[in-house]
């Protein structure tokens, strides 16, 4: 009886709050902590001023992204981070450069208006132009429940970035076995292996279509992961490309200034 009452209360709250309950993602927001919003960017730096070797491909400034259009708040193809995150990233870059790699950045600081754009897009179930490229195994009505789209993002706190490695010998991106912003278990760091030990297992049972990655592709993901963790970044459990400075300076602040 107690469980029934709890379920009925949850259902009532869902009706009252609407879709907003679906768009809260525990991995991307600290719901139990006070949150502030600000336009102040005085503690931010342009990433390439600190990491001049970084290659930028800011996906949300262009149209090759899961929405299929330029995202609100991206007025220039540049990357901003807090000074602390940029300094740590410089140390990663120096290590990787010595091994023949450069860092390639897809996204860094993300204004709240961009996150709001994602939410509006996800609610429009007819907007599926980019489905074949980024979420072919999913229907859009699962994007909120499965937490692919959320009302808040760690990117908006200024110390999170999405990235990969570029091989200076081959002059190509390192083969990670999957594209940035692929919605599916194939993007998880533990797909086909154990990221804690670096062991490749080949277990692709989580892939709905039986997709897989090779031992080399898994190892490449681990090179990036280990380099980032060595300099204070924490990996994300569902995206091999996503890292947040563990000791981020603004854990409860969501910034609103444009990327320009």
Write the pLDDT tens digit of every residue in 2-60.
Answer: 333 333 333 333 322 333 323 346 444 444 456 899 999 999 999 999 999 999 999 99
Q: Are strands 101-107 and 55-56 parallel, antiparallel or unpaired?
A: parallel
Q: What integer pLDDT is reported at residue 4 of this predicted model? A: 37
Instruction: Output phi, psi for 62, to 5 deg.
Output: -105, -160
Mean pLDDT of the chain: 90
**Mean pLDDT computed over 219-233:** 98
Distance of CA 258 to CAs 59, 108, 123, Å?
A: 15, 12, 23
Percent of the chain with pLDDT over 70: 87
Tell me if 60 sits within 8 A of 74, measured CB to CB. Answer: yes
* pLDDT, tens digit, 9 for 90 and up, residues 59-111: 999 999 999 999 999 999 999 999 999 999 999 999 999 999 999 999 999 99
Q: What is the pLDDT of residue 34?
A: 60
Task: Catalogue all structural domains in the chain, each as residue range(s) with its CATH number.
Answer: 36-177+223-255 (3.30.1380.10)
Number of H helices, E strands in the chain: 6, 12
User: Lowest-confidence range among 13-27, 33-47, 176-190, 221-235?
Assistant: 13-27
Specify whether the CB–CB gap between 70 and 117 falls below 8 A: no
d(CA 188, CA 205): 13
Alpha carbon distance 177, 183 (integer Å): 14
Query: Could you tell me the pTM of the whole model?
Result: 0.88
Using alpha carbons, select from 238, 224, 256 the residue that is nearest to residue 80: 256
Pairwise CA distance, residues 146 & 27, whole Å: 12
Can you tell me the mean pLDDT for 183-200?
98
Dihedral sign for Cα atoms in the order 187, 257, 85, 105? positive
Nearest to 54 by CA among 19, 34, 82, 80: 80
Q: What is Dmax (Cα atoms) for the chain?
A: 65
What Rg do the C-alpha atoms of the chain give, in angstroms? 19
């Amino acid at each position: 009886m107690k469980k029934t009452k709890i379920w009925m209360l949850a259902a009532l709250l869902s009706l009252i709050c609407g879709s907003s309950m679906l768009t809260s993602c525990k991995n991307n927001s600290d719901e139990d902590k006070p949150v502030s919003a600000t336009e102040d960017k005085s503690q931010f730096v342009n990433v390439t001023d600190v990491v001049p070797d970084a290659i930028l491909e800011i996906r949300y400034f262009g149209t090759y992204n899961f929405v299929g259009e330029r995202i609100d708040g991206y007025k220039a193809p540049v990357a901003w981070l807090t000074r602390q995150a940029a300094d740590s990233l410089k140390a990663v870059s120096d290590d990787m450069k010595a091994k023949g790699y450069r860092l390639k950045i897809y996204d860094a600081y993300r204004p709240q208006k961009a996150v709001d754009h994602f939410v509006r897009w996800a609610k429009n179930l007819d907007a599926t132009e980019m489905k074949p490229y980024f979420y072919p195994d999913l229907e859009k009505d699962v994007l909120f429940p499965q937490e692919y789209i959320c009302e808040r993002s760690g990117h908006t706190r200024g110390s999170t970035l999405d990235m990969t490695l570029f091989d200076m010998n081959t002059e190509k991106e390192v083969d990670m076995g999957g594209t940035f912003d692929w919605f599916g278990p194939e993007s998880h760091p533990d797909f086909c292996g154990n990221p804690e030990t670096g062991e490749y297992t080949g277990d692709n049972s989580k892939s709905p279509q039986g997709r897989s990655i090779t031992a080399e592709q898994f190892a490449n993901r681990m090179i990036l992961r280990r380099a980032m963790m060595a300099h204070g970044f924490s990996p994300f459990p569902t995206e091999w490309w996503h890292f947040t400075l563990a000791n981020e300076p603004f854990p409860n602040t969501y910034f609103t200034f444009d990327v320009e």
